[in-house]
Amino acid sequence: MKLVVKKFGFVLIMLAISVSINPTIAYSVEKIEPKIYQLLEVTGSTKSSMAANINKIGSTFSSSLKKINPNIPDDIIDKCGERYSQILSKLFLGEDGLHKQLVMVYKKYYSEKDIDRYLQFYQSKLWQNASKNKGKLSKIEADQVKTEFQKVVDATGGQSKQDAIKQDMKAKTDQFVESSLGNAQNDLNKYMRTLGYKLDGDKMVKL
């Protein structure tokens, strides 16, 4: 099961990083959560983009299994890859999934006013222009973007708060991976058995 363990843990950690790339989000009343998701939308860390990445990971997983198990029919392995994607989607994007838990981490640290500041920055003409012209900005333009973003960071708790969020998210992710890994492996093994196979290490063996 080493292949499954390595890929599963790595996937969740990388997806968590994709959510935390941009320092944003808020804490207040329930109306704050729509703003959190709005901010994730403008920074590109949406559920749909993560779902697309999970599907790619499922395809990569299938390719790895095919290399290790050349005698297993492709359609069987493809079904296992699809189920693997479904398992990751449920764990990461489900109602109580890691995505939701990470949103709650942001909610713990920022006020509604903080999130509004970040939204204003990401919706500004300055950022829109920078986003559309990545790699083409002059040094003056790039420095202006950095300066304006730093103003938002300073106004919402500074670098120390961002560092605390990253540490909290890493701890949350590590805990989630550890607690969920066994269940994911069992689910995948159970599904393989319905197809007439089981995992023996990294090898698929016919029952």
Question: Domain map of the chain by residue range?
Answer: 2-112+161-206
Whether residue 151 has pLDDT greater than 90: yes
Report the C-alpha gap between 2 and 39 in whole angstroms: 37
Residue range 3-20: average pLDDT?
46
Between helix 74-93 and helix 98-109 the angle, nearest 10°, is 30
- Output the CA torsion 67→70→189→62 (10° steps): 40
Residue range 163-192: average pLDDT?
83
| pLDDT of 195 | 92
Q: Name the band, by pLDDT with cuts 50, 70 and 90, for residue 64.
A: confident
| pLDDT of 10 | 46
Whether residue 102 has pLDDT greater than 50: yes
Residue range 7-23: average pLDDT?
46
Q: Name the band, by pLDDT with cuts 50, 70 and 90, for residue 45.
A: low
Lowest mean pLDDT among 37-46, 108-117, 166-175: 37-46
Whether residue 22 has pLDDT greater than 80: no
Residue range 100-106: average pLDDT?
81
| pLDDT of 30 | 59
| pLDDT of 35 | 86
Q: Name the band, by pLDDT with cuts 50, 70 and 90, for residue 9.
A: very low
- Predicted TM-score of the model (pTM): 0.66
**Residue among 177, 191, 183, 194 at smallest CA distance from 83:** 191
Whether residue 134 has pLDDT greater than 70: yes
| pLDDT of 48 | 73
Residue range 116-126: average pLDDT?
92
